[in-house]
Structure 1
Amino acid sequence: MKRLLSLILLFSSFPLLAQELMPPLLPWSGKSESLIVEDSNPWVTPGELTDLTESPTYTETMDWLRKLANSSPYLEMKSLGKSEQGRDIYLLVASKSQKFSPEDLAQENKATLFFHGGIHAGEIDGKDVGMMLLRDILHGEKMQLLDEANILFIPILNVDGHERRSEFGRVNQRGPKEMGWRTNARNLNLNRDFTKIETAGVKAVIDVLNSYQPDLYVDVHVTDGADYQYDVTYGYVKTGGYSPAISQFLSETFQPEVDQALKDWGHIPGPLLFAANGDDFSEGNIAFSFSPRFSHTYGDARHIPSILIENHSLKPFRQRVLGTYAFLEQAIRTIAKHYPAVQNAIISDQNQEKESIAVKFKFREAPADTMDFLGIASKKVRSEITGAEYVVWEGKAINQQVPSLLMDVPVQTVPIPKAYWISSEWGEVIEKLQNHGVEMEILDQPREVKLEYSKVTDFKMGSQPYEGLMRVQEFASEKIYRSQTFLPGSVRIKTDQDLGELIVILLEPESVDSFFQWGFFNTIFAQTEYMETYIMEPMIAQMLEKDANLKAAFEEKMSSDPEFAKNPRRIYRWFYEKTPYFDQNWKVIPVGREW
């Protein structure tokens, strides 16, 4: 009780909210402010009633959206399933045809845009944007958008994190007043989950991608980090990805039209921004090669045009929401206008002829180019508390020439086999592949097949759990070949399918997002059978007597490796591994390759 009272006194005397400690703010006004309706409008959103300084709770949001759906024949609201704490994850489907099933929408010659808010629940801009945009389509002057495209919208993806809301949600973000929590109720980060599918939220997203096959997927975030003039930054896989035709369309057609629309509405669009030195942009901006555990790279691996929006956290919630509205409205217009080109790009990437794919990238030796950077002046100040230097942003607009550091050089590639085989006992992995939408043949009779496998020769585990799993941090392996009888329930997965690249990413151990590196096969590292010395001694004598080649190899090993020669346990082990009693499955990754 005394401890609780002390904590209450501590927090009640906390001097200032972080909002009051933010860097100076550049003044802003723009045409997009006209998007906010009057309080007297019957369809004013809860956020607009606060002039977009606050964002509604889960219950308030869903009540408002349910009322909106009930008011129009063009909108359907349905649950995609339950969160870890039992909340519904809702999807809104807007369709001018008044048909809402994936099968019906697939029959229409019309683009489909899918976006969601709150994958990181404190970064909730997308939710309020979607409410305003759907309102303006159904009860405003923008029904034409629904003539051009179908719209899929998940208002809150991380619904449990959303309800862990307070004024202390995100320390470096300007609003809304109360913000949710980054991770879900099990403390898992949904935007690290797109390959392993451990969260209800990401499973819901992948279900939508599988069933509706959208022509554009947009994930709305808010940044961490540095200060600059841009308010809406966004990115996609430009180079070093798995969908070059889609990347070309996004770069040459989509981005110029969206950027111009944002400028017309009074916003400053920019690329994804990550300071090379972690403080300011004097040493360059990093363009990371995100792995497919992240939403937009996962979309690229699936050949779905995918955008990651990162609104600037130091800009007010109001400005960020309005900028995202302008982005999404133009995104709908652009994919509708260029729908045949979008489809052609998707089909082209799905039908690529590939013998191998890159699964790991590094930075280029030299910067790709320089960018005209709209920055904010800063200075380094030495802390009187720690003695270290830290950045102070001064609130003054500056222009800089900043090098672009691209991480798109392949470090490791893997050949693509004809098919993969997985035995029935690895049902969790098989189920995850099915959740991804992977096509597979499920055996109903035993079948013997000779396959190639990877056997781990050395490995190092991560020192602590990452996203709840013990990852394989480093490893070496060798190829082995053997026959195996696969029982009913085992699967054969051909790589000649639309998700072929994703299959390789998930199943080749060298891939940083493989099921192997995520730790789903960690039990292969446990050795469970051993041999006693009183058996080994007479067996070794028989082996040496009957096999001259083995005897010669042993004598060479003893003479060339003094440490081995002095270690009885290693000697016994050396012989044991050459007997049929040794565990033939130990360290063998249970994914067979058919060539």
Structure 2
Amino acid sequence: MKKSLLLAFLFTGFSTMAQEVMPPLLPWSGSSEKLIVGSDNPWVTPGELSGLTESPTYDVTTEWVKKLADSSPFLTLKSIGKSEQGRNIWMLIASKSQNFDSEFLANEDKALLFFHGGIHAGEIDGKDAGMMLFRDITHGNKSELLDEANILFIPILNVDGHERRSAYGRVNQRGPLEMGWRTNARNLNLNRDYTKIETDGIDAVIDVINAYDPDLYVDVHVTDGADYQYDVTYGYVKTGGYSPAISKFLFENFQPEVDQALSKAGHIPGPLLFAANGDDFTEGNVAFSFSPRFSHTYGDVRHMPSILIENHSLKPFRQRVLGTYVFLEQAIKSISKHYQTIQKAVADDQNQQEKSLPVKFAFRETPADTMDFKAIASHKEKSQITGAEYVVWDAKAISQKVPSLLMDVPVQSVEIPKAYWVSSEWSELIEKLQKHGIEMEILSTLQEKELEFSKVSEYKMGNQPYEGMMRVQSFETEKISRSQTYLPGSVRIPTDQDLKELLVVLMEEESVDSFFQWGFFNTIFSRTEYMETYIMEPMMKQMMEKNTELKQKLEEAKTADLELAKNPRRIYSWFYEQTPYIDQNWKVIPVGREW
């Protein structure tokens, strides 16, 4: 049965479209509308042919960008990898030098912008905006943008999700007519994958970052959530991050110029917006401390200026695409203008001399400030179906004073060792570290080292998979010192390197995006050798006869744990753990620290 017939069969009688019941729109017009070319233009984009109500398929997009690349000596099209379903992930490269080699572009004394659309394939604004911008650079009036900057553009990152497209892609988004799916073919969310690298898309992105060393990385999304006047919201790690010099540049230089450009073109720029109460903004806007599994915070921890765009889902596709175009054009101008400032900020952040690193943040006790919020009036109504109250938006522009709730207070830090050691059997983790661009020494001979390790005393696993992984939900550890034999192929990873902060958040178990918490070391929780009671009984007697303090230690353990005192099997296990027969690797996280 064909897909369309199958859907018709499954949803017979369903005719309501989300577009029909969305909150009403405020009227909008802006000078950015002049960016749209007519249908008679030989380089009109497929999206423009629909009046920016539709976005082209993967095949149509690929055909168009190939044709564009072939038409200009300043462009080339490159496959940076294949998706899980075997589709090419294409990247357009623009360079006035006509030299597209990654090493050349990384080292050329010239700003470099890297951006992509469709990491969440239904949120595709970046693709259509990028196609229009590249058209205008090569066949319009924007060629001067290449005088001071090179550009990397991935039209569609999540290519498989992009082709899982239909009119029912996103229930809360105003266009395009057909939208792709949020996750990839394996149902993994690419924008949760930057630390664990389990998707082909993020594998390709990190390759690009390492090879080209961009001066600005922009990830284009579309929001969920409430209604408000802003159409282009975006953010970066402003406080509570790992790159304070970069944050200062983005706040003092980049953001004012981009906001001015967007406002001049008729758009309303704003910060990332997350309603504290989940409905409206009367209780404040929350600025979360995102972990490095996300694009812009991954950029922050590796000292790469990074922006997360979240266009407002309730604004029309046309308006969002034009706002994205204006943002990207000004981004190119700003990083070109402040190129030397960016270089210095990156170097300052790479050369921080921290002895410890925060890995967990909490909210401030009081709001940081109050923002003048460009809101949409709303009221609550009681549902006749569920009985609960729900928010109704009134299509009336209002201004509100909204508290800013910042999650930037460090509440847990870890000491930074001189180096980490990982044994050769953990080759998957070693390869992930290398993929991130982390420098390491690979052992060619056997070495014996006395190192510090963390041993898990208590732990609880998550009750369901998250992004395909069984995460460690909560745990307690103690530090132990032990000698470890490292075979050839094992690695020593010094922390004296540019990506020190990224290395620490991957290796230290307290970090929410550590390899440990993601579940890559879950095999350490399995016991594979056990004791027999008929052996343990006489052994226990001998142990207490030879060690008079052992009985006292047992009584203290019983007092601290009443269940232990009632459970003979656990008492046997307690004694077993005091013997050299117990598995010495059980619950020991296999990351050695050299101090």
Matches within 5 A, 1:255-294: 255-294=255-294
* Cα distance, 1:18–1:571 mapped onto 2, change above 3 Å: same
Any idea what the Cα deviations from partners look like across 1:278-310, whole Å, max 9, x if unmatched? 000010100010000000000000100000000
Distance 1:193 1:561, change over 3 A: closer
Q: How far, CA to CA, are the matches of 2:56 and 2:567 in structure 1?
A: 69
Give, as a single letter, the amino acid of the residue that structure 2 aligns with 1:199: T
Alpha-carbon distance in structure 1 between the residues aligned to 2:342 and 2:555: 66
Structure 2 counterpart of 1:164? 164
Deviation at 1:106, TM superposition (A): 2.7
Cα distance change, pair 560–475 in 1 and its aligned pair in 2 (3 A) = closer
Give distance in 1, aligned partners of 2:232 and 2:516.
Answer: 37
Secondary structure, counterpart of 1:503 in structure 2: helix
Deviation of 1:414 after TM superposition, in Å, equals 0.6
1:400 is aligned to 400
Q: 1:561 to 1:363 in 2, by over 3 A?
A: closer
Taking the aligned partners of 2:419 and 2:240, their CA distance within structure 1 comes to 24
Which position in structure 2 is the counterpart of 1:131? 131
Aligned mates of 2:295, 2:6 — CA distance in 1: 42
Q: 1:271 to 1:542 in 2, by over 3 A?
A: same
- 1:247 to partner: Cα distance: 0.1
- Within 2, Cα distance between the matches of 1:23 and 1:566? 62
Question: TM-score with structure 2 length normalisation?
Answer: 0.98
Give the residue type in structure 2 aligned to 1:433.
Answer: L
Q: CA deviation at 1:41?
A: 0.6
**Deviations 1:147-179 (CA, angstroms, capped at 9, x unpaired):** 010000000000000000000000010000000
The AA in structure 1 aligned to 2:225 is: G
Partner SS, residue 126 of structure 2? helix
Structure 1 segment 17-416 matched on structure 2, within 5 A? 17-416=17-416
**Cα distance change of structure 1 residues 291 and 117 upon mapping to structure 2, 3 Å threshold:** same
Deviation at 1:222, TM superposition (A): 0.3
* 130 and 529 in structure 1: CA distance in 2 versus 1, 3 angstrom threshold: same
Shift, 1:53, TM fit: 0.4
Tell me the amino acid that sits aligned with residue 567 of structure 1: N
1:418-497 alignment runs, 5 A limit: 418-497=418-497
1:369-408 Cα offsets, whole Å, 9 max, x none, are 0000000000100000000000011111000000000000
**Which structure 2 residue ranges, 5 or more long, are not aligned?**
none
Q: Distance in 2 between matches of 1:533 and 1:434?
A: 47
Contact 2:106 2:211 in 1 (8 A): no
Give the CA deviation at 1:14: 1.2
State whether residues 207 and 435 of structure 2, in contact with CA within 8 Å, keep that contact through their aligned partners in structure 1. yes
Distance 1:63 1:573 in 2: 66
SS at 2:482's partner residue? strand
Cα distance per residue 1:472-496 (max 9 Å; x no partner): 0000010000010100111110111
Counterpart of 1:494, as a letter, is P
AA at the equivalent of 2:109: N
Gapped regions of structure 1 (runs ≥ 5): none
The aligned residue for residue 500 of structure 2 is 500
Which amino acid is the alignment partner of residue 118 of structure 2?
G
> Are the counterparts in 1 of residues 106 and 214 from structure 2 also a CA contact under 8 Å?
no
Q: CA deviation at 1:38?
A: 1.0
The 2-side partners of 1:558 and 1:169 are apart by: 57
Q: Secondary structure at the match of 1:47?
A: helix
Distance in 1 of aligned mates of 2:200 and 2:55: 23
Displacement of 1:101 in angstroms is 1.1
Q: Find the aligned partners of 1:591 and 1:314 in 2 and give their Cα distance.
A: 47
Aligned length: 593
C-alpha separation between the residues in 2 aligned to 1:560 and 1:189? Answer: 43
- Partner in structure 1 of residue 582 of structure 2: 582
2-side partners of 1:361 and 1:559: how far apart? Answer: 35
Distance 1:83 1:559 in 2: 57
Q: CA deviation at 1:15?
A: 2.6
Note the C-alpha offset of 1:563.
4.6
Q: Secondary structure at the match of 2:39?
A: coil
Q: Check if 1:591 corresponds to 2:588.
A: no
- For residues 6 and 340 of structure 2, the distance between their equivalents in structure 1, rounded to whole angstroms, comes to 64
Using the aligned pairs only, state the percent identity.
Answer: 76
Give the letter aligned to residue 42 of structure 2. Answer: P
Letter in 2 for 1:288: F
Q: How is 1:515-594 mapped onto 2 (pairs within 5 angstroms)?
A: 515-554=515-554, 557=557, 563-594=563-594
Per the alignment, do residues 18 and 190 of structure 1 end up closer, same or farther by CA in structure 2, a change over 3 Å counting?
same
Q: How far does residue 571 in structure 1 lie from its aligned partner after superposition?
A: 1.9
